Chains A and B, each alone.
Chain A
Amino acid sequence: MAHQLLRFAMYKDHPEPRMFNTPDELQDSYDVVIIGGGGHGLAAAYYLAKDHGITNVAVLEKGYIGGGNTGRNTTIVRSNYLTPEGVQFYDRSVRLFQDLSQDFDLNIFYSTRGHYTLAHTEASLNTMRWRAEVNKHYDVDSEVVYPREIQSDVPEMDLECGGEMPVMGALYHAPGAIARHDAVAWGYGKGASLRGAEIHQKTEVTGINAESGRVVGVETNRGTIRTNKVLCAVAGFTPRVTEMAGFSTPIEIRPLQAAVSEPHKPWLDTIIVSGTLHTYINQSSRGELVMGSALDPYELHSTRSSLDFTEGLIDNALDLFPFTSELKVVRQWAGMADITPDFAPIMGKTPLDGFYLDSGWGTWGFKATPISGKTMSELVATDRVPELIHPFRLSRFAENRLMGERAAASVGH
């Protein structure tokens, strides 16, 4: 062993295959440049190579792989949305997720848990019924359940919520799952890299070059790249990049915060969400409670954490699970989320030819990683908008065809 180590210390080539190559030099031109090395950007690179044979691709990441919102979400995967377009889109994503470990030959720890969205009022129970019917229509497994069933599945929960807002029912979504988010980015990165795509970390895009309404290249902190196709997949930084590209979008940046408790023995095997209490909770495979809440209340381009958030979150979480009052919060963090007026993403073509947008992922982006990569790669390769993402086009705002996904996309409403 020591001999082997010594031998490899003499060579530049690492003895073990790395997760992905890190080429030293940027080339002068690529067929496709993807801005953003998170799950979405890497998934697009992966499917560009795998489905469309396009491998002269550079993924430019200003920080490190999966260090943005891919590594900051609470890892929930589900498809129990409200609009038919949303349900079909996320259902395809859930199905792709289920095969990812096999595809990557890398365990993404995909764990189907079952997902409860609690209703504390008659109005939200009606929304749950509506969602259940839309879901069933598209063959997505969701149903409305009532307190007795919830209590027998989650005996630790106080359904009275301390007496203020008792749980009246829930939308139960059996395919709801969690996955290891870093592994999703690494798996896509590894697969894209093996097929020839280049991943350049610490490479920041500083400008978009256009000529007569067409994109012709990007400026980076490491030089200029010529390309006719740019995919922008930079959740939280979208307005900065679209400003470089010369158009505006309805996206507003808000921080979304999350926290985890210290690890303890397993007791919660489902995912619990309450819109009324602005809380979602699951227990990770390490035993930590992973908890999130509503968006911060105003625009902010920062990943700072706040005590206001933790206080509010824990106050509500203790209504559901009073016995966790002795648990300590060990980490909290924030990610910058692209928020759209209708709580649906913005995907597709833009006013600048050859510049494609994968954005507006707000608080619902991780679960869409596989399907956004799949559909955006098809769009970039063929310049035709796939049927599945046509409803999410940027021009829907001018056409007054908003999606109305708020009741199912976010907890803060």
Chain B
Amino acid sequence: MKLVPCPLNGWRPASEFSYGGPVEEMPDPQQCSDEAWMEYVFSHEGAPGVKQEWWYHIASGTWFVAERDTVADKFIRSYLP
């Protein structure tokens, strides 16, 4: 079974987690242009690589950031934001 490293609970089965998408800086919705807001809401760096992602450990209610290689599906590290 696929394991995910939770910073609080260690390596746990992937079924205990929910994927929260890439970590992205939110522009100020009051200030930014419509294009910039669209980019933030919809567009992503879709190409593969090592990415920073939000993950949620459902059992303990923990949101954290994980660095993961999206080709090899290997977690490199994870930490609390």
Chain A interface (Cβ < 8 Å from any Cβ of B) = 238-240, 242-243, 248-253, 297-302, 304, 306-308, 341, 397-398, 400
Pick from A250, A302, A306: contact of B44, CB below 8 A: A250
Q: Which residues of B contact A252 (CB under 8 A)?
A: 44, 46
Would you call B47 an interface residue if the criterion is a C-beta within 8 Å of the partner chain's C-beta atoms?
yes
Q: Which residues of A contact B42 (CB under 8 A)?
A: 250, 341, 397
C-alpha gap A341/B43 in the complex (Å): 10
C-alpha gap A20/B13 in the complex (Å): 48
C-alpha gap A252/B53 in the complex (Å): 13
Q: A253-B46, A301-B71, A308-B2 are in contact. List 11 more A-B contacts (CB 8 A).
A: A248-B39, A249-B46, A251-B44, A298-B53, A299-B53, A301-B48, A301-B70, A302-B71, A302-B73, A308-B1, A398-B35
* A–B Cβ pairs within 8 angstroms, 6 of them: A251-B46, A253-B48, A298-B19, A299-B53, A307-B1, A400-B38
Would you call B34 an interface residue if the criterion is a C-beta within 8 Å of the partner chain's C-beta atoms?
yes
Using CB atoms, name the residue of chain B closest to A244.
Answer: B47
Known: A298-B19, A301-B71, A304-B73. A397 touches B43 (CB 8 A): yes
Cβ of B72 to closest chain A Cβ, rounded Å = 8
Would you call B45 an interface residue if the criterion is a C-beta within 8 Å of the partner chain's C-beta atoms?
yes
Using CB atoms, name the residue of chain B closest to A338.
Answer: B46
Taking CB atoms and an 8 Å cut-off, the chain B residues in 27-80 that contact chain A are 34-35, 38-39, 41-48, 51, 53, 70-73
Q: Do residues B43 and A243 form an inter-chain contact, with CB atoms below 8 A?
A: no
C-alpha gap A397/B39 in the complex (Å): 9
**Which interface residue of A238, A252, A299, A302 has the most chain B CB atoms within 10 A?**
A299
Would you call B14 an interface residue if the criterion is a C-beta within 8 Å of the partner chain's C-beta atoms?
yes
Q: Do residues B46 and A238 form an inter-chain contact, with CB atoms below 8 A?
A: yes
Cβ of A313 to closest chain B Cβ, rounded Å = 14
C-alpha gap A16/B46 in the complex (Å): 44
Q: Which residues of B contact A301 (CB under 8 A)?
A: 48, 70-71
C-alpha gap A297/B18 in the complex (Å): 8
C-alpha gap A308/B44 in the complex (Å): 27
C-alpha gap A202/B14 in the complex (Å): 36
Would you call B9 an interface residue if the criterion is a C-beta within 8 Å of the partner chain's C-beta atoms?
no
Q: Do residues A248 and B19 form an inter-chain contact, with CB atoms below 8 A?
A: no
Q: Which residues of B contact A341 (CB under 8 A)?
A: 42
Q: Which residues of B contact A249 (CB under 8 A)?
A: 43, 46
Q: Do residues A299 and B47 form an inter-chain contact, with CB atoms below 8 A?
A: no
C-alpha gap A297/B17 in the complex (Å): 10
Q: Do residues B14 and A308 form an inter-chain contact, with CB atoms below 8 A?
A: yes
C-alpha gap A252/B35 in the complex (Å): 19
Q: Do residues A248 and B34 form an inter-chain contact, with CB atoms below 8 A?
A: no
Q: Do residues A398 and B45 form an inter-chain contact, with CB atoms below 8 A?
A: no
Q: Which residues of B contact A306 (CB under 8 A)?
A: 2
C-alpha gap A148/B48 in the complex (Å): 49
Cβ of B81 to closest chain A Cβ, rounded Å = 18
Q: Do residues B73 and A248 form an inter-chain contact, with CB atoms below 8 A?
A: no
C-alpha gap A243/B49 in the complex (Å): 12
C-alpha gap A400/B1 in the complex (Å): 39
Using CB atoms, name the residue of chain B closest to A304.
Answer: B73
C-alpha gap A398/B39 in the complex (Å): 8
Q: Do residues A397 and B44 form an inter-chain contact, with CB atoms below 8 A?
A: no
Q: Which residues of B contact A298 (CB under 8 A)?
A: 19, 53
Q: Which residues of B contact A302 (CB under 8 A)?
A: 71-73
Q: Which residues of B contact A248 (CB under 8 A)?
A: 39, 43-46
Q: Do residues A297 and B19 form an inter-chain contact, with CB atoms below 8 A?
A: yes
Known: A243-B47, A250-B43, A300-B70. A308 touches B15 (CB 8 A): yes
**Which interface residue of B1, B18, B35, B46 has the most chain A CB atoms within 10 A?**
B46
Cβ of B38 to closest chain A Cβ, rounded Å = 5
Cβ of B75 to closest chain A Cβ, rounded Å = 11
Cβ of A170 to closest chain B Cβ, rounded Å = 29
